[in-house]
Amino acid sequence: MGLLGDFMEGRQEASNNLNNWMNEALDGLLGPTGIPDRLRAANLFLNPAVNVDQAQRHTRTALDPSVRGADRALAIGQGLLEVGGLAIPAIASRLTPRLPGQNLGDEAARAMTETFANVSSRPEATALRDFGADQGVDFMRGTSGSVPPSGLLGDAAASPTMVDVYDARAAQMELPPANRIQPDPNRTRIVDADYQTPPPGEVFPEGINRYPRNPDPSAPLPKGDRGRILVEKREELAKAMAEKIRKTGQLGSDTQFFYHSDGPIYRAAKNAGLTDPEAKDFLRDFSQSFAATSPRTKVEENLRNASSAMSKQAAGIPHRQIVGPGSGGISERGYPMMTGEPGGIHGQLLDQVYDTGGIDINKNPKPANFGANMAGDRSGVTVDTHAVRGTLQTLNEMYPGSVPDGYILPKYKEAYKADPSILTPNMLDDRPASQMVTLNGERVKAQTEYPVFADIFHGAADDLGVSPAEAQSMAWFGFGDQTNLGSAHKTVADVLDERISVTAQAMGITPDEAARLYFRRAIPLMGVAGGGLGLLGAGEARKPEQEGLL
């Protein structure tokens, strides 16, 4: 049971108090009353310092493990009252008319802006925010919907909150991986496995992404033109890659359709109660958040982190703000995101998504194409660590010793020259390199080596009669023994369905309710035991300076 659930079940009196208080305050601000009544009502909200202090005091009481039953519920209820006193000014700022010599709306908004950041991560604030999302009221921004005149907390009060999930995930991290909650093996799937039926209509237009090519095809490529041999032998390499993929036996298997989870995710969102436009919006936002949190991260962690970022963003919480139990670093425990400033790549990419609506294709073509692939545009290639390693190792098989010096890490150069047969993945510099070029009249640093590898996969896809994204996914799963990045044969739809099952069990709710909350962005998802589906170079530890956006 979550904070709001405890509040409702343990202390109905506190619920009545909250209803009466908010209705009285709103009546004073919005009802047919005179200036004195409006001033009195507004004054309830314009002493935030007291509310902050009291809310924090009641929070400490509510979270004290020695406090039980009605006493804990009362502390939660009181905390909600006080945090509510900071939330209502946002509504007041939109609806209170100007008064002689004073704009109470501006004053209320100013007070909230200056103080609410100090308490917005408290459990009561998160509970109130999550409840507001269920009721169609954005308490933190004062937009949309209206507060019902009675029964304010309604049935949604029993739902777990964002903080409840963070708490449960942190508690699971205390257990050995084998003892953590596992997906129910007998569950009925929430996210189906029909990879052939896409969402109706266009969600992500094909061809929206372009590779960052050097406009002069004869100009040297980065790092001493090391990729030139890949350009010259592109057709041979594409044919060899296609033949290797055929031999893995994956054509027609689920691994071919890793990037076809858009249909299953869309339908699960619709089944969770979203309208067609809302489900398509969710899919687009999911693909962008999933892509932004993908670098150097396994799929299971990637999905969990994307769900956390989406929940925070929907609640108006900065994605770098720690809401749940911390890890001792820069993220909640169990949600290992790279958001440190200035170098945290997940934070940088999320900033791009939220600030500009997408990921910069020139600087970050891998996550940009990954996001497009996940939303249904499979015309581009996600050139990740697997793709680079697989291509270079195939070149070495075809022409032993031909891998250019620039792709071999310094400490292995002499050994490779002496015996090319010893080439292993850890010997390779497997990040596509960048250079300064002029694109659209502007000098930019672009990852121009990216399309060198992408073009080979386009050729392999043509040979196999599949989409470029499908060719890459089959190479990823099929070449794991060579790239040292073997992965469990699961799609994103599989992993998402498992996460919903685990979250439902941990929260003591049905999978349908867990899906409803997740697709409405009210809660993040939980993980399972250690390990997970490897993706994007997460199979081995490397020094930060060796890491790419892969």
The answer to whether the beta carbons of residues 517 and 134 sit under 8 Å apart is no
pLDDT > 50? residue 462: yes
Query: pLDDT value at position 323?
Result: 85
Mean pLDDT of the chain: 76
**Average pLDDT rounded to a whole number, residues 71-91:** 53
Beta carbons of 387 and 394 less than 8 angstroms apart: no
Highest mean pLDDT among 315-324, 336-345, 515-524: 515-524
Q: Could you read off the pLDDT of 310-340 as tens digits, one per residue?
A: 999 998 899 998 888 876 668 899 998 888 8
pLDDT confidence bin for 37, thresholds 50/70/90: low
What sign does the CA torsion over 273, 276, 279, 281 have? negative
Measured distance CA(171)–CA(165) in Å, rounded = 10
pLDDT of residue 271: 97
What is the pLDDT at residue 148? 30
Lowest mean pLDDT, pick from 57-61, 443-447, 465-469, 543-547: 543-547
State the Cα–Cα distance between residues 141 and 434, nearest whole angstrom: 41
Q: Say what the pLDDT of residue 1 is.
A: 43
Q: Give residue 71's pLDDT.
A: 60
Looking at residue 124, what is its pLDDT? 45
Poorest-pLDDT segment among 132-141, 339-348, 380-389:
132-141
Rg (CA), the chain: 27
Under the banding of pLDDT at 50, 70 and 90, the label for residue 68 is: low
Average pLDDT of span 16-26: 52
How is the chain split into domains, by residue range? 3-159, 222-546
Q: Which amino acid is at 292?
A: A
Residues 238-267: pLDDT tens digits? 999 999 999 988 898 888 999 999 999 999
- Residue 308 CA from chain centroid, whole number: 6
Q: Is the pLDDT of residue 353 over 50?
A: yes
- Confidence class of residue 76 from pLDDT cuts 50, 70 and 90? low
Q: Helix, strand, or coil here: 436?
A: strand
Residues contacting 396, CB < 8 A, separation 6+? 402, 403, 420, 423
Is the pLDDT at 188 greater than 60? The verdict is yes
Whether the pLDDT of residue 97 is over 50: the answer is no
In whole angstroms, give the CA distance from residue 349 to residue 370: 13
pLDDT at 107: 43
Q: What is the mean pLDDT of residues 68-94?
A: 52
Residue 165: name the closest of 498, 533, 497, 509 by CA: 509
How sure is the predictor about 447, in pLDDT bands with cuts at 50, 70 and 90?
Answer: very high
Residue 9 pLDDT more than 50?
no
Say what the pLDDT of residue 494 is.
Answer: 93
Residues 6+ apart with CB under 8 A from 239: 459, 460, 463
Report the C-alpha gap between 355 and 506 in whole angstroms: 34
Residue 117 pLDDT exceeds 50: no
Side-chain half-sphere CA neighbours of 514 within 13 A: 26
Position 324 scores a pLDDT of 84
Q: Which range (196-200, 283-287, 335-339, 475-479) has the least confidence? A: 475-479
The region of weakest confidence among 373-382, 398-407, 541-550 is 541-550
pLDDT > 70: percent of the chain: 64
Q: What's the pLDDT band for 480 if we cut at 50, 70, 90?
A: low
Q: What is the mean pLDDT of residues 515-530?
A: 86
Does position 99 have pLDDT exceeding 60, yes or no? Answer: no
Q: Which residues contact 244 (CB under 8 A, 6 or more apart)?
A: 394, 475, 478, 479
The model's pLDDT over 209-246, given as tens digits with 9 standing for 90+, comes to 679 999 998 999 999 999 999 999 999 999 999 999 99
- Among the ranges given (80-84, 129-133, 230-234), the one the predictor scored with the smallest mean pLDDT: 129-133
> Is the CB of residue 23 less than 8 Å from the CB of residue 90?
no
Closest CA relative to residue 515, chosen from 530, 501, 531, 529: 501
Is 70 exceeded by the pLDDT of residue 358?
yes
How many CB atoms within 10 Å of residue 54? Answer: 16
pLDDT of residue 278: 95
Angle between helices 511-519 and 262-271 (to 10 degrees): 100
- Residue 15 pLDDT > 50, yes or no? no
Distance CA 89, CA 107 (A): 9
CB under 8 Å to 440, separation ≥6 — which residues? Answer: none
